[in-house]
Homo-oligomer: A and B are copies of this chain.
Amino acid sequence: MAISFTEENYLKVIHRLSEATSEDISTNAVAELMQTKAASVTDMLRKLADKGWVNYQKYQGVRLSAEGEKIALSIVRKHRLWEVFLVDKMGFNWDEVHEIAEQLEHIESDQLVNKLDEYLGFPKTDPHGDPIPSKDGILPELAYSHLSDIKATKTCKLMGVAQDSAVFLQLLTKLNLNLGAKLAIKEINEFDRSIFVSINDAAPIFISHDVAKNILVKILA
């Protein structure tokens, strides 16, 4: 069945919200991410339900159907593969690719996506450490921890970020916090939950709790 860019974006947003919870997704939550009004969302949810892509009962929230999930994953796959292309082949920085990938994710051609995947060497993750769904719609669970949840004196490795905004990524770059960076937590301040941390064995610096919340790590020791 034909699908519009807008419908694709709604499915993508519902998918993203569903990753964080097992509850049904509220109209308002969708409205916020779609940068639109709740009334518009209600209209669209009824339409998506008619098409069989979501399960929706009014006032009860929404969740993706199996088919909706499949569509959402194919968009995520395209988005992340294009991000790899933009960074690895076009030479963009990781903070520059999100907006462009938002456009490229709507290009319709299974053949192209799979050739691109091959051309890029079947990458497992995008430039922000997010896993790339496979051709048949399987998205590997990564299960990394948020830096803000790690106890003091632990050492860990930066595996991904929980936010793609340019300002956030630029800050990380400035702090030398790239994918793969080694983080040795020296101390956590009770007052503001800021973290005193050594990056790649350099002299320790302070990182705010807000930043730490959005950094995903694997614990090394």
CA distance A71 to B143 in the complex (A): 46
- A20 proximal to B (CB < 8 A): no
Q: Is the CB of B90 within 8 A of A119?
A: yes
Task: State the Cβ distance, A100 to closest chain B Cβ, in Å.
Answer: 5
Asked whether any CB of chain B lies closer than 8 Å to the CB of A189, the reply is: no
How many whole Å from A98's CB to the nearest CB in chain B? 12
B-contact 0/1 string along A20-59, CB 8 Å cutoff = 0000000000000000000000000000000000000000
Contact A90 B115 (CB under 8 A): yes
B-facing residues in A92-126 (Cβ within 8 Å)? 92, 96, 99-100, 103-104, 106-109, 111-112, 115-116, 119
What is the chain B residue whose CB lies nearest that of A114?
Answer: B90
Which B residues lie within 8 Å of A108 (CB)? 103
- Is the CB–CB distance between A107 and B104 below 8 Å? yes
Q: How many copies does the complex hold?
A: 2
Q: In the complex, what distance in Å separates the CA atom of A107 from the CA atom of B96? A: 15
A184 within 8 A of partner (CB):
no
Chain B residues positioned under 8 Å from A91 (CB to CB): 115
The verdict on A154 contacting chain B, using a C-beta distance below 8 Å, is no
Give A67-81 interface residues, CB cut-off 8 Å to B: none
- Which A residues fall within an 8 A CB radius of B? 86, 89-92, 96, 99-100, 103-104, 106-109, 111-112, 115-116, 119
19 A-B pairs whose Cβ atoms sit less than 8 Å apart in the complex? A86-B112, A89-B119, A90-B112, A90-B115, A90-B116, A90-B119, A91-B115, A92-B111, A92-B115, A96-B111, A99-B109, A100-B107, A100-B109, A100-B112, A103-B106, A103-B107, A103-B108, A103-B109, A104-B107
Besides A91-B115, A103-B106, 17 other CB < 8 A contacts? A86-B112, A89-B119, A90-B112, A90-B115, A90-B116, A90-B119, A92-B111, A92-B115, A96-B111, A99-B109, A100-B107, A100-B109, A100-B112, A103-B107, A103-B108, A103-B109, A104-B107
| The 4 residue pairs across chains A and B that have the minimum distance between CB atoms | A90-B115, A103-B107, A100-B109, A100-B112
